[in-house]
Amino acid sequence: MRVVAGEEMKAVDRYAIEEIGIDGRILMENAGRVAAKNIMKNFGRQKFCVLIGSGNNGGDGFVIAKVLQENGYHVSVCVIPERDKIKGDAEYHMNIYLNSGFSFTQYDQAPAESADIIVDTMLGTGIKGEIRSPYKEIFRELNKMDNTIISVDLPSGVPADESPVPEHALQADHTLIIGLPKLSYYT
């Protein structure tokens, strides 16, 4: 099995987009749909809270939330950044999500606390260095909760390479691999 660092995974994605010609929005749609199907298969009809960041991982979160809701699941969606900070392919999927009649709120601890399962799509492979506010405080809150946490690709705050895991990184109960396994899964 091939294991990659974050930069290698970005190169694989770049190759798929630039050389093969697969639109990045399609890659995001596929990743989100596969993750949602995995969640439905393995976790059943529980109450979910999807926590969404501004990057590609957050775009996956909009797809996951949409698929879960289209299949009748109870889902709260909380977005961490201000709406205007969500750009690119993630913004595209946010707009599809909203145009499908669904809604989200800015992050609030209450929906996360009342959910059976928290789906983490806040930060992805681009994380470097110390975790900053508001994520540091959010991760601290989430790490104290008893809810099951499913992270998509990597637990938020965990680097994709062999760097040390920051003290306040999110502690996931399950991680759904997107693409290839990352080095940090094994360090």
pLDDT exceeds cutoff 90 at 4: no
Please indicate if the annotation marks 124 as binding a ligand.
yes
In this predicted model, what pLDDT tens digit does every residue of 164-184 receive, in sequence order? 777 889 999 999 988 766 666
| Residue linked to tokens 């990184």 | 169
Average pLDDT on 12-32 reads 90
Between CA 94 and CA 83 the distance in angstroms is 9
Q: In this predicted structure, what is the pLDDT of residue 162?
A: 66
Query: Is residue 59 a known part of a binding site?
Result: yes
Is 99 annotated to bind a ligand? Reply is no
Q: What is the pLDDT of residue 51?
A: 98
To the question of whether residue 52 is assigned a binding role by annotation, the answer is: no
153 is in an annotated binding site: yes
Q: How far apart are CA 94 and CA 102, in angstroms?
A: 10
- Is 129 known to sit in a ligand binding site? yes
57 is in an annotated binding site: yes
128 among annotated binding-site residues: yes
Q: pTM for the full model? A: 0.92
pLDDT of residue 70: 98
DSSP letters spanning 59-91: HHHHHHHHHHHHTT-EEEEEESS-GGG--HHHH
> Does 120 carry a binding-site annotation?
yes
What would the pLDDT profile of 74-124 be if each residue is shown by its tens digit? Answer: 999 999 999 999 999 999 999 999 999 999 999 877 778 899 999 999 998
Q: Which domains does the chain have, with CATH numbers?
A: 6-186 (3.40.50.10260)
Ligand-binding site membership of 89 (annotated):
no
Q: Is 55 annotated as a binding residue?
A: no
116 labelled ligand-binding? no
Report whether 10 belongs to an annotated binding site.
no
Tens of pLDDT along 127-152? 777 888 999 999 999 999 999 999 99
Quote the radius of gyration of the chain (alpha carbons, Å). Answer: 15
Residue 187 marked as a ligand binder: no
